[in-house]
Structure 1
Amino acid sequence: MTEKWRGRSNLQSFLDSTTPSMPSHKLPKSWCRDLNNLWQMVGKDSVEFFNLGDLWEQYCEWSAYGAGVPVCLQSEEMVVQYYVPYLSSVQIYTNKAPAGARDVKQNGGNNTVSWNGEQVGHLYLEFSESTSPYGRVPLLDKVLELSHSHPGLFSFKSTELSPASWMSVAWYPIYHIPTRRSVKELSVCFLTYHTLSSFFQDEVHGSITDLNFIQSGKNEFRSKEKCSRIYLPPFGLATYKLQGNLWTMPESGDQERITSLFTAADSWLKKLKVQHHDFTYFTTHFL
């Protein structure tokens, strides 16, 4: 094979292989207006959404066996590197305060935060992992654990969540097939950031940066007219042990994509005043 995996760089292969997709549903826009007045600014007759329960189902097999990422080695040999996903951090803000929910203070003020002059909702759940990767449970197991006290993790629709709702997934390599020795570049770890709100495309995407997301047909938070699924590509990215040129392809825009996605993640955390343990570790430990 003279080119990396069918013209894709290994970085692109990773992004494609780990981007979740869920069944797409639609609601008339008029049904969404009582959820949050932000929807009144959406110039569409209907609003697409996904169920959070369907999102976690995407991580079921990945949590059990790892997500397989085709990787082309420098020798032009193909291997499949498997990555296990961990829930690194998550913040869920609802458009309405859930019945019986306690007010949660974000910054010592009230149960809302200001973000670009807009009220971003009620903080329903906040979790950030700080234990060693060896002491963590896979993403689906962590979500099931959190859902015992936060059942909305499986019942919420993305239209019920404010633009500030997000999660971060830490991807750690576990094995590759066929096994090859001394391939240090396969030890790279990734940290991806994903929105959880249907409103993200219209309100947040343009306000942070022009990210040039995934360029393989999954480049926006949307489902195509002929596709009944919604893709959730990362809006932010951080890497650990990314060395050499195995994962990037010359003149592919990979380096620019890594920089812009990293900048977006950093900007996001600063806007919400979040101290993200894994992000700090990834950016202060290079080898």
Structure 2
Amino acid sequence: MAGGVCRRRRSNLQCFLSRITPSVMSYSLPKSRFQDGSEPWPPVSKDTVGCFTLGDLWDNYNEWSAYGAGSPILLNNGETVVQYYVPYLSAIQIYTNKPSSVLRNSGEDSETDSWSDDSESEKPSRSWDAVSDDSGGDLDSVWPGKDRLGHLYLHYVENTSPYGRVPLMVKVNELSQQYPGLMSLKSVELSPASWMSVAWYPIYHIPMRRNVKDLSACFLTYHTISSSFQDSIIGDTMENDSCCCIPGKTRTKLNETSDYISLPPFGLATYKMQGNLWMDPETGDHERVIRLFNAADSWLKQLRVRHHDFNYFSTHSM
């Protein structure tokens, strides 16, 4: 309980990553639904395809955007506080198995290469720093083929100060006015190159403790939103969340059943995560942070995306 001694086997970092991992209800979609000849991603031989909708994914962030996501933090003096974080949409790219002209009423040429500078300059998303100067070019060298990338439906990178941002759900609702697929698209309609990044900034902790500067740590998490990688990522989730419960709240472990899909971070960057409060050397946290940071760095380089938050986090603090 808050103010008391918390005994657990996991570090504060592991608890945080577990707390901010969304779980989405999965359902079976008949393969016959793909009447236009397109294949779900990844292609399957079964009659049904397991998937989730992006709208259901965003449901995880409704309460977090309004009140913050709470994560228990075990202080060095043995007391526990619950630190609350507000999620912000830091970046998102959605690649689909259908041309953009089919998915929205923008009249774009479906044959245009989504990665060309000319096509990008004409898209409404240019006011949101659509694509950086170095993000064009041929990606065949890092992806199996353009069919693996698909059609770029949405590219958004946040580049304003954290103080000028709106919570994730506010931004998603704003973007969905221009890109309705942000709510309706299914994970099987998204290519393996689809991903999002969430910036987590602390807002308060209960009970209040003064002069605990390590509680000012900020995090940048990366998640795939396609069905392609979910099986392999689920195997890397935190093994037990019972030691990270928040006093007075019951955490429903959604990913215990096959009816839910867990989307833990495949990449991570941190800022102001100093001292030994967050990481426990006995749990392999140091190696985990390095591995997740390198994964995020590699992902961005493969897609040739200039991610402002990642650049800031990586040049200021690990």
How high is the TM-score relative to the length of structure 1?
0.87
SS in 1 for 2:65: helix
* Partner in structure 1 of residue 239 of structure 2: 216
SS in 1 for 2:117: coil
CA contact (8 A) 1:68 1:80 kept: yes
CA contact (8 A) 2:230 2:261 kept: no
CA contact (8 A) 1:86 1:170 kept: yes
Q: Any residues of structure 2 matched to 1:119-268 within 5 Å, and which? A: 119=147, 120-201=149-230, 213-216=236-239, 226-268=257-299
Cα 1:38–1:158 shift into 2, 3 Å: closer
CA RMSD in angstroms, aligned pairs only: 2.8
The CA distance in 2 between the partners of 1:65 and 1:225, in whole Å, is: 26
The CA distance in 1 between the partners of 2:298 and 2:183, in whole Å, is: 28
> Which ranges of structure 2 fall in alignment gaps of 5 or more residues?
121-137, 242-253
Greater relative contact order structure (CA < 8 Å, 6+ sep): 2
SS in 2 for 1:7: coil
User: C-alpha displacement at 1:161, in angstroms?
Assistant: 0.7
Cα 1:260–1:44 shift into 2, 3 Å: farther
CA contact (8 A) 1:4 1:10 kept: no
* Partner in structure 2 of residue 36 of structure 1: 39
The CA distance in 1 between the partners of 2:15 and 2:295, in whole Å, is: 21
CA contact (8 A) 2:42 2:227 kept: no
Q: What whole-Å deviation, never above 9, does each CA across 1:110-148 have from its counterpart, x for those lacking one? A: 789544222211000000000000000000000000011
Report the residue type matching 1:156 in the other structure: L
User: C-alpha displacement at 1:249, in angstroms?
Assistant: 1.4
> Which ranges of structure 1 fall in alignment gaps of 5 or more residues?
none
Aligned pair count reads: 276
How high is the TM-score relative to the length of structure 2?
0.79
Percent of aligned positions with the same letter in both sequences?
A: 58
* Partner in structure 2 of residue 277 of structure 1: 308
Report the residue type matching 2:152 in the other structure: L
The CA distance in 2 between the partners of 1:104 and 1:172, in whole Å, is: 36
